[in-house]
């Protein structure tokens, strides 16, 4: 007899016990109300998907400066904290567990969105266009954070993490992936600093480690995760020495007894497997490249469980399949989503996808 893990086995995660190994990945849906407030529709959306072993919320800004896109929610005001309580209560009422993803956009932002010039490790703009209230615009020139300001931005994650727990979340995930602020510090193209936060590998990983350590100190390592996208180059945040840098980063993070590391398959499998071996704790893998042509499916999930991941995250499949876990369990068809409604606002393409309807 084999004793191989399946997606439907229970799994410990920090102090939680997950009923299955399917994670709903964080996905931007830009449905927040003015002031970065969570809404009743958001409560319904997440509650519909509470059969996931774990839900990781859309990116939530830890400060106004950290807001990347218009229409996204925050966790830095009392009103925002209060607005999230019905969301987390709805998820828990449906038997689910939910972490808040804390996302500081850094240079991937715009003055039209926040009222501030974006700030990052160095005065180097991101590549591509950013979303603004008046439509997509070229990524602006950020200002370089001073050495004294960098610890303040790292500490903003810890403040938001405490707010997340007050709002009823089970924990938080630091967004250390996809070209946002933590990745910008890791990047050899976005980070041209010559102080203790730039240059060597030990300096480039410092911001990520300080942010994670602050969160773990604030709410406990068992309620803290981090998402990483090694070598992804998203938003022009290119990285050198990827295997060495991420191995060093995981070594430092391992000292914090975090709940998990969430790796995106943004680099070759051999490197990912080396990182699996370097990380002693729980590993979530998202097998699909972010926004790439192929979305995670059951075969990819099973393969990565066999390669040593404890949990598998699914993104796009959850948009049109609120009952994704049962569809995977029973081999039912996976419904297609309408990409035009990803960021369209309103409930269409958000709350309107049904659970599977069995023939009479």
Residues marked active site are found at: 180
Rg (CA), the chain: 19
Q: Are 220 and 248 in contact (CB under 8 A)?
A: no
Which residues are CB-contacts of 307 (< 8 A; sequence separation ≥ 6)? 269, 273, 276, 285
Q: Which whole-number Å values give the CA distances from 32 to 70, 95, 135, 197, 319, in the listed order?
A: 9, 24, 17, 33, 17
3-class SS at 102? Answer: strand
SS3 call for 191 = coil
Residue in the structure block whose two tokens are 């409930």: 347
- What is d(CA 69, CA 256) in angstroms, rounded to the nearest whole number? 30
Question: How many Å apart are CA 291 and CA 351, to the nearest integer?
Answer: 21
Structure-block tokens of residue 160: 């938001």
Other C-beta atoms closer than 10 Å to the C-beta of 140 total: 18
C-alpha to C-alpha distances, 31 to 50, 124, 127, nearest whole angstrom = 19, 30, 25
Which residues touch 358 (CB under 8 Å, ≥6 apart)?
A: none
Contact 294, 273 (CB under 8 A): no
SS3 label, residue 37 = strand
Handedness of CA 287, 271, 262, 182 (dihedral sign): negative
């Amino acid at each position: 007899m084999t004793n191989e893990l399946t997606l439907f086995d229970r799994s410990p995660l920090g102090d939680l016990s997950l009923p299955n190994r399917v994670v709903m990945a964080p996905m931007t849906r830009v449905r927040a109300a003015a002031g970065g407030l969570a809404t009743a529709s958001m409560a319904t959306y997440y509650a519909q998907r509470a059969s996931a072993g774990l839900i990781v919320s859309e990116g939530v800004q830890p400060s106004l400066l950290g807001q990347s896109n218009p229409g996204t929610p925050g966790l830095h005001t009392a009103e925002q904290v209060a607005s999230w309580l019905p969301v987390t209560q709805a998820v828990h009422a449906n038997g689910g567990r939910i972490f808040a993803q804390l996302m500081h956009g850094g240079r991937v932002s715009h003055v039209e969105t926040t009222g501030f010039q974006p700030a990052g490790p160095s005065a180097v703009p991101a590549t591509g266009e950013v979303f603004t209230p008046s439509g997509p615009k070229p990524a602006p020139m950020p200002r370089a954070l001073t050495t004294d300001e960098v610890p303040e931005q790292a500490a903003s994650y810890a403040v938001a993490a405490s707010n997340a727990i007050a709002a009823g979340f089970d924990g938080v995930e630091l967004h250390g992936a996809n070209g946002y602020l933590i990745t910008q510090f890791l990047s050899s193209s976005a980070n041209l600093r010559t102080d203790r936060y730039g240059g060597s590998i030990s300096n480039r990983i410092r911001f990520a480690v300080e942010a994670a350590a602050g969160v773990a100190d604030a709410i406990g390592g068992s309620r803290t995760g981090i998402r990483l996208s090694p070598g992804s180059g998203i938003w022009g945040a290119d990285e050198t020495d990827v295997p060495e840098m991420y191995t060093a980063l995981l070594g430092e993070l391992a000292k914090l007894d975090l709940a998990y590391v969430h790796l995106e398959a943004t680099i070759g499998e051999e490197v990912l497997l080396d990182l699996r071996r370097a990380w002693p704790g729980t590993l979530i893998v998202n097998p699909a490249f972010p926004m790439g042509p192929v979305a995670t499916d059951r075969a990819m999930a099973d393969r990565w469980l066999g390669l040593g991941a404890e949990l598998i995250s699914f993104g796009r499949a959850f948009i049109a399949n609120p009952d994704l876990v049962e569809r995977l369990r029973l081999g039912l068809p996976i419904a297609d989503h309408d990409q035009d409604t990803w960021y369209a606002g309103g409930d269409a393409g958000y709350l309107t996808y049904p659970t599977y309807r069995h023939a009479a």
